[in-house]
Amino acid sequence: MNILTDIPVSLIVLCSGLGLILIGLWGMLTQRNMIRMIIGFSLTDTGIHMVMVSIGYVTGGTAPIINDAVPMADAVNRVVDPVPSALVLTAIVIGLGVTAVMLAFAVRIYKARNTLNIDECTESKW
Amino acid sequence: MIKRLFIFAMLALMAMIFFNLVANYNENTSLSKLGKYYVEKGPQELGAPNLVTAVVVTYRGLDTLGEVTVLFISAAGVGLLLRRTRRNQDDDEGLQQGDREEETAIKHKPASEIVETATELLLPMVVLFGVYVFMNGHLSPGGGFQGGAIIASGTMFLLLALPESHISRLMIAITESMSGFSYVVVGVLGVVLAGGFLDNRIMDLGTYGSLFSAGAIPLIYLFVGLKVGFELSAVLDRFRKEDTGPV
């Protein structure tokens, strides 16, 4: 038995996703440059998508498209769960919208203050 | 220093939670109940080979309407934040004379011959591919959002190669609102003629696996694809350095 083939595929995707979430959180918490914080957010976002997709994986499953390659009668045993994929599709679009608005705020702040450092925007902290 | 410590402690705790998740992880060997229902009933009920599309457009159509709304609001938010008023322009000129000059210098630097020619050649094909992806959303991987993103990448291409090109805001606004409106109309027609909001069986299901099949799904994805494509194009246009067109 080879140790590499023993590890399930979805476990690798799950671990990478969780790793990306941690890297993104670290970036959002430690970086002071707004663009870098937004990149951290994007990394976390992507990590969450990977975790969701890996949870929907079924051993040996293929894409849930029922055509000649996957006959309808046998489909239940051969495809992965379509629900997490659909959720990730929604999540990607919403992540994109959130990122766009954050970048627009960053542009505005840069225009107003000529800096991207979050520490210099102090008056509305609390 | 103490802040760093807190951050480190928080990340360590998160890692512990994740470690527990991974340690107790078992790969699924069969579908969940809901997934099973969709896989068994989806093709017969809706006539769509791509089950992700069936879930996104029909079974969970209301979520998709929410998603389109979120994207619309974020595009409107970007438009509001990055609009260029007359007062702002004066401020820019007064306060950042140096930056302004730099910007004009960058603005007039044209893209290279290769990029320009490649754009002219490839742009129609990129847009055509986007349309292909959203029209075949019920048959193959893809759909309205993906096709829309491809069309927007065509716009990105155009803006990179020919930065002076003008994109009509009015055309974008009209196409976007018309497709959004038609999307909701198709959804409401589902309530009147078939089983519920965004039910695709208002039209004939057609031959399983052909282009014009699966009821209203190609129609819905046409509207979603156009809406997303034009919305993302508008967002990209807003992020351009200089605002050329009238608001």
Q: Report pLDDT digits (tens) over B212-240.
A: 777 788 888 888 888 888 888 888 888 87
Residue B10's nearest CA partner among A29, A37, A34, A32 is A29
Give, rounded to a whole angstrom, the gap between the first and last alpha carbons of chain B.
Answer: 48
Q: Please classify residue B3 by burial: count the beta carbons closer than 10 Å to its beta carbon, then call 0-12 exposed, 13-18 middle and 19+ buried.
A: exposed
Is residue B72 within 8 A of residue B80, CB to CB? The reply is no
The helix/strand/coil state of B201 is: helix
- pTM of the complete model: 0.81
Q: What is the pLDDT of residue A20?
A: 93
For residue A88, pLDDT over 70 is answered with: yes
Q: What is the pLDDT of residue A4?
A: 66
Residue contact A96–B77, C-beta within 8 A: no
Which amino acid makes up residue A107?
Answer: V
Q: Does B29 touch chain A (CB under 8 A)?
A: yes
Distance CA B87, CA A48 (A): 42
Sign, CA dihedral B48-B53-B57-B62, equals: positive
Q: Residue B214 has which token pair?
A: 């699966």
Q: Residue B133 has which token pair?
A: 């992806």
Q: What is the pLDDT of residue B108?
A: 53
**How many residues are present in chain A?**
126
Q: Nearest C-alpha of chain B: how many angstroms from A75?
A: 7
Q: What is the pLDDT of residue B222?
A: 87
Q: What is the pLDDT of residue B242?
A: 52
Distance CA B112, CA B97 (A): 28
Show residues of chain B in contact with A93, CB under 8 Å: 67, 70-71, 145, 228
Residues of chain B with pLDDT under 50: 90-98, 101, 105, 244-247
Report CA-CA distances (Å) from A81 to B14, B30, B62, B139, B163. 27, 9, 20, 17, 44
Alpha-helix runs per DSSP H in chain B: 2-23, 33-46, 51-53, 61-81, 86-95, 97-107, 113-135, 144-161, 169-193, 217-238
Is residue B204 within 8 A of residue B216, CB to CB? The reply is no
Is residue B77 within 8 A of residue A104, CB to CB? The reply is yes
Show residues of chain A in contact with B145, CB under 8 Å: 89, 92-93
Q: What is the pLDDT of residue A99?
A: 92
Q: What is the pLDDT of residue A68?
A: 75
A/B interface, count of CB pairs below 8 Å: 146
Is residue B47 within 8 A of residue B213, CB to CB? The reply is yes
Residue contact A105–B81, C-beta within 8 A: yes
Tell me the sheet residues that pair with B50. A65
Residue written as token pair 């009238």: B246
Q: What is the pLDDT of residue B105?
A: 47
Residue contact A8–B27, C-beta within 8 A: yes
